[in-house]
Structure 1
Amino acid sequence: MNALIQNIIFDLGGVILNIDPERTRAKFIAMWNGKAEEVYRNIVRENILEDYETGRISTDEFRQALLKYAHPGTPPSAIDDAWNAMLLDIPAENLTVLWKVKEHYRTFLLSNTNAMHTPLYSAMFSNKSGKSMEEFFEGVFLSHKLGMNKPHREIFEYVLQVNGLRPDETLFIDDAEENIRAAAALGIQTIHLIPPLHLQNIFSKDGRLHN
């Protein structure tokens, strides 16, 4: 595989950015008076998360959609606090790897994300490295700006097409199995990055893929 790879598409959360969705879940459980399962079913049925992740609803609409399930009098800021709790940090060593990798490959970021989270993790890049997120990649593709998300086939096809990438020369690194399966179905090479595997295990110190 390594000899063929010329392009690498990175996921963000769980690959570059440390996240803990359970922190968000715990805050929402407290906010929803212990009715988390019922609320989550409603959220899925109403496509609230999907719509926010694909930019179909605004941040304020997202807040209001979740706020209606909270205790009476819960301020909108509590939604922000709970939603942002899952974002932890970007390890400096991950940024070091990314910077080295771009010397040898065309690199891209493809993330399912949203308008509330984007400025927060963008600031993590700049605060930790002194460089903007965009400086680490040839292209940055965010679901809420594209109007589509993983694991849908069209988002992978879009990234391949607009950048002139051949699937067999492209490696996709993600922590979600359903996203890995979707990319592999298009002939994209994949690495399912789950603990104890980290970016440092995939690349050498000079930024090349390990054999």
Structure 2
Amino acid sequence: MSDIKVLFFDVGGVLLTNGWDRVSRRLACETFGIDWEEFQDRHDFVALDFEKGNLTIGEYLERTVFYRERDFSQAEFIAFMKSQSVAMPDSLALTRELASRGDYLLATLNNESRELNDYRIETFGLRDMFSVFLSSSYLGMAKPHKEIYRVAVEITQYRPEQCAFIDDRELNLECADLAGIRPVHFKDVNQLRESLRYLGVAI
């Protein structure tokens, strides 16, 4: 029988498309006629504070987009940002299957700004699957910093070796492994199912 009790899931790239990645930002610049290099330079200065919850989405946009007059509104731009979130149905179905069994504590462990994270939880019904939401914007720290893994494990009150972490980025998994958490590299749903079975997860 598996000793795994907790399954931590990344969200962007595993359950949903990424919320506000480089591809989405470039598309936003093309859509709204914003200079990409200028925007990206400003984004780089404030991105970590945005993800750690130190800036609201309005404050982030004031620094990156609306520092000058625009012919579109903040509301229009935020609507575009939200539209970049798309479900990955097979991954969500597998997660619902795991949640319905009730054998494991399911938690998210992701880097996301507060407003986009709240939107994604609500829009895609993540509360139906997850008991705990450990987002960078709630914890004030981000992957791959070692502290976020330590805090995540402490919140669950299980031992690191009783936890598995599913992510699509190898660096995040390497740092989780250093914290004693069992890493699972997400590539596709079939591979994820097999990787979880290898760890003894009933699915």
- The whole-number CA distance in structure 2 between the counterparts of 1:18 and 1:110 is 15
Measure how far apart 1:106 and its partner are: 2.1
Counterpart selection for 2:79 from 75, 78, 81: 81
CA distance 1:124–1:82, shift in 2 (3 Å): closer
Check whether the contact 2:108–2:133 (CA below 8 A) recurs between aligned residues. yes
Residues 8 and 59 of structure 1: CA distance in aligned 2, closer, same or farther (over 3 Å): same
Deviations 1:79-103 (A, max 9, x none): 3134224311241x43332233242
- Structure 1: any 5+ residue segments left out of the alignment? 127-132
Cα deviation for residue 201 of structure 1 reads 4.5
TM-score using structure 2 length: 0.81
Report matched runs for 1:104-143 at 5 Å.
104-126=103-125, 133-143=126-136
- Distance in 2 (alpha carbons) for counterparts of 1:87 and 1:164: 31
Structure 2 counterpart SS, 1:87: coil
In structure 2, do the counterparts of structure 1 residues 29 and 209 end up closer, same or farther at CA, with 3 Å as the change threshold? farther
What CA RMSD, in Å, does the superposition of the two structures yield over aligned residues? Answer: 2.8
- Which amino acid in 2 is paired with 1:151? P
In structure 1, the partner of 2:13 is 14
Q: Relative to structure 1, is the Cα distance of residues 137 and 123 closer, same or farther in structure 2, using a 3 angstrom cutoff?
A: closer
Deviations 1:19-65 (A, max 9, x none): 484244212245354x4234313321x2x221111111112101211
Aligned to 1:167: 160
1:146 aligns with: 139
CA separation of 1:31/1:201 partners in 2, compared to 1, >3 Å: closer, same or farther?
farther
SS in 2 for 1:107: strand
TM-score for both structures, normalised by structure 1:
0.78
Q: Which residue of 1 aligns with 2:95?
A: 98
Give the aligned partner of residue 27 of structure 1.
Answer: 28
Q: Which structure shows the higher helix fraction?
A: 2
Q: Are 1:55 and 1:143, in contact at CA under 8 Å, matched by a contact in 2?
A: yes
Aligned length: 197
> What secondary structure is seen at the aligned counterpart in 1 of 2:8?
strand
SS in structure 1 opposite 2:58?
helix
4+ runs of 1 displaced by more than 6 Å? none
More deviation, 185-194/18-27: 18-27
Paired residues of 2:14 and 2:88 also in contact (CA < 8 A): no
Question: 1:129 matched to which residue of 2?
Answer: none
Which letter maps to 2:28?
A: K
CA contact (8 A) 1:54 1:149 kept: yes
Equivalent residue for 1:155, pick from 139, 148, 168: 148
The alignment status of 1:61 with 2:59, answered yes or no, reads yes
Decide whether the 8 Å contact of 1:97 with 1:203 is kept in 2.
no
Contact 1:156 1:183 (8 Å CA) reproduced: yes
Task: Name the CA shift for 1:192/1:15 in 2 (closer, same or farther; >3 Å).
Answer: same
Instruction: Give 1:183 deviation, angstroms.
Output: 0.5
Identify if the C-alpha distance between structure 1 residues 14 and 182 changes in structure 2 by more than 3 Å, giving closer, same or farther.
Answer: same
Distance in 1, matches of 2:131 and 2:189, equals: 28
